[in-house]
């Protein structure tokens, strides 16, 4: 009998997680779910995060060193960053177009608005504290933060992934500059580390269906508690906002990614989406493009035919700075909140949102709900009261899952495009 593919196992885990979450809520099992089911999902995410830093470090070092020249590095890196910024700009624009057409904020009643702000006010305070520390930084602080003063400090947290990327690039460039004989022992070490990490990915992914089940079940339980009607009440209150975000994200995937893949590669679209499906499902359940990175790399190399040289450089970079889904959501959320409280954002203000969202997406950590913190800054930039974020906090987790799928799909699309342009794409025969 043919073995069931991983993405089907993950889908089964996801569906069963939804069913169990609802069943748990109906029967008052929320405490049991949070205490005994949720930890399985937490362990799964922690294992993925555990290998993220060594994966990014080893893959980028080996990837850069294999390029053999800084000229080739700058060419590939320049292409990637150009496409990343371009797709992010299109994503924000598409989000603004959707929210201005649908106008979901005008559909929220004043009673519901007050209720949501009251319910999520405590969560909002925590976000304000984090955002305040980001806002108070100097204009060049994000650039300064890229350059760590200590390697071990940088590698101690997944939130410092930009620093890890810089260290890896720096080491890789250094290896290119010295004779191959002297570089070989160091390069062999990182190649060996990379191979070990890849094997660990395979082991961790065996747990994926169970981890996804636990994550989805605990998410449902957290939202509903022991009262499933809370989900219905929440969704009915800001359903149009959710629909607007989902329409924008779907349109971006269908129009932007499909178009650039069609125009710039010979990759069959059905093969691309089938190949990246396991990573997309994992992104949906973890809400973290950083945690999904090992699976994304595996899918791109084994299912899509992207060379290791390209994937090991482009994908870690993308997981760090390419946040199309997050940027689109931030644009929609900013205008939605303005509409809900009766503010009319001018054309100039919306252009400001595009610029700020693109820049903010680069610095957004590849972890769950980090986009909310950056949203606070975007709202203050255009003069929208930040307390309005309370309107969307209740459904942020759900939308975070969807926008992370878009982020991961964007990373994979760019890796295929770059590989194709560098003649390093071997399209598998289906």
Residue 335 has pLDDT above 80, yes or no: yes
**Average per-residue pLDDT for the chain:** 81
Per the domain annotation, does 430 fall within a domain?
no
Per the domain annotation, does 429 fall within a domain?
no
Those residues with Cβ within 8 angstroms of residue 297's Cβ, 6 or more apart along the chain or in another chain: 55, 59, 201, 311, 312, 315
> Residue 185 CA to chain centroid, in angstroms?
35
Per the domain annotation, does 1 fall within a domain?
no
pTM of the predicted protein model? 0.76
Residue 281 has pLDDT above 60, yes or no: yes
Per the domain annotation, does 55 fall within a domain?
yes
Q: Which of 195, 172, 6, 201 is nearest to 73 (CA)?
A: 172
Q: What average pLDDT score do residues 177-202 get? A: 86
Q: What average pLDDT score do residues 13-24 get? A: 85
Per the domain annotation, does 97 fall within a domain?
yes
Per the domain annotation, does 428 fall within a domain?
no
Q: What is the model's pLDDT at position 367? A: 47
Q: Name the least confident of 110-114, 182-186, 305-309, 329-333.
A: 110-114
> Which residues constitute the domain of residue 178?
6-69+77-421
Q: Which pLDDT tens digit goes with each residue over 64-107?
A: 777 767 788 888 888 988 999 899 999 999 999 999 999 888 77
Per the domain annotation, does 223 fall within a domain?
yes
Number of domains composing the chain: 1
Per the domain annotation, does 284 fall within a domain?
yes
Under 8 Å between Cβ of 330 and 374:
yes
Q: What is the model's pLDDT at position 340? A: 81
The 3-class SS string of 111-130 reads HHHHHHHHHCHHHHHHHHHH
Q: What is the model's pLDDT at position 257? A: 94
State the pLDDT confidence band at 417, using cuts at 50, 70 and 90. very high
Q: What is the model's pLDDT at position 1? A: 45
Residue 334 has pLDDT above 60, yes or no: yes
Q: What average pLDDT score do residues 327-332 get? A: 89
- Whole-number Å distance between alpha carbons of 300 and 297: 5
Here the CATH number for the domain that contains residue 133 is 1.10.3860.10
Residue 377 has pLDDT above 90, yes or no: no
Q: Which pLDDT tens digit goes with each residue over 99-158?
A: 999 988 877 666 666 665 565 555 555 555 555 555 566 656 667 777 888 888 877 776
Q: What average pLDDT score do residues 367-392 get? A: 70
């Amino acid at each position: 009998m043919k073995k069931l593919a991983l993405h089907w196992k993950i889908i089964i885990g996801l569906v069963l997680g939804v069913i169990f979450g609802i069943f748990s809520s109906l029967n008052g099992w929320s405490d049991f779910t949070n205490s005994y089911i949720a930890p399985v999902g937490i362990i799964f995410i922690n294992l993925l995060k555990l290998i993220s830093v060594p994966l990014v470090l080893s893959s980028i070092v080996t990837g850069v060193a294999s390029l053999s020249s800084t000229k080739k590095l700058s060419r590939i890196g320049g292409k990637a960053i150009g496409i990343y910024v371009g797709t992010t700009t299109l994503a924000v624009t598409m989000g603004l177009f959707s929210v201005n057409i649908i106008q979901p904020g005008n559909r929220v009643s004043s009673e519901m608005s007050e209720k949501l702000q009251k319910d999520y006010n405590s969560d909002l305070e925590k976000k304000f504290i984090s955002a305040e520390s980001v806002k108070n930084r100097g204009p060049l602080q994000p650039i300064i933060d890229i350059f760590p003063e200590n390697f071990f400090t940088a590698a101690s947290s997944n939130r410092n992934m930009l620093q890890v990327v810089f260290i890896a690039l720096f080491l890789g460039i250094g290896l290119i500059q010295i004779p191959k004989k002297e570089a070989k022992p160091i390069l062999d070490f990182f190649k060996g580390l990379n191979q070990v990490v890849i094997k660990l990915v395979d082991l961790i992914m065996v747990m994926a269906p169970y981890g996804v089940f636990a994550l989805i079940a605990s998410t449902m339980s957290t939202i509903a508690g022991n009262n499933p009607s809370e989900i219905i009440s929440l969704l009915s209150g800001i359903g149009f906002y959710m629909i607007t975000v989902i329409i924008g994200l779907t349109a971006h995937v269908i129009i932007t990614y499909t178009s650039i893949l069609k125009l710039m590669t010979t990759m069959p679209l059905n093969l691309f989406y089938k190949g990246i499906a396991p990573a997309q499902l994992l992104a949906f359940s973890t809400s973290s493009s950083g945690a999904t990175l090992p699976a994304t790399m595996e899918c791109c190399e084994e299912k899509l035919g992207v060379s290791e040289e390209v994937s090991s450089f482009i994908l870690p970079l993308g997981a760090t700075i390419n946040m199309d889904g997050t940027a689109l959501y931030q644009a929609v959320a900013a205008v939605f909140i303005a509409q809900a409280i009766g503010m009319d954002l001018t054309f100039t203000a919306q252009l400001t949102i595009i610029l700020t969202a693109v820049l903010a997406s680069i610095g957004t950590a590849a972890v769950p709900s980090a986009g909310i913190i950056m949203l606070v800054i975007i709202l203050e930039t255009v003069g929208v009261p930040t307390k309005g974020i309370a309107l969307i906090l209740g459904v942020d987790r759900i939308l975070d899952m969807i926008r992370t799928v878009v982020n991961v799909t964007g990373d994979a699309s760019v890796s295929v495009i770059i590989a194709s342009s560098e003649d390093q794409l071997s399209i598998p025969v289906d």
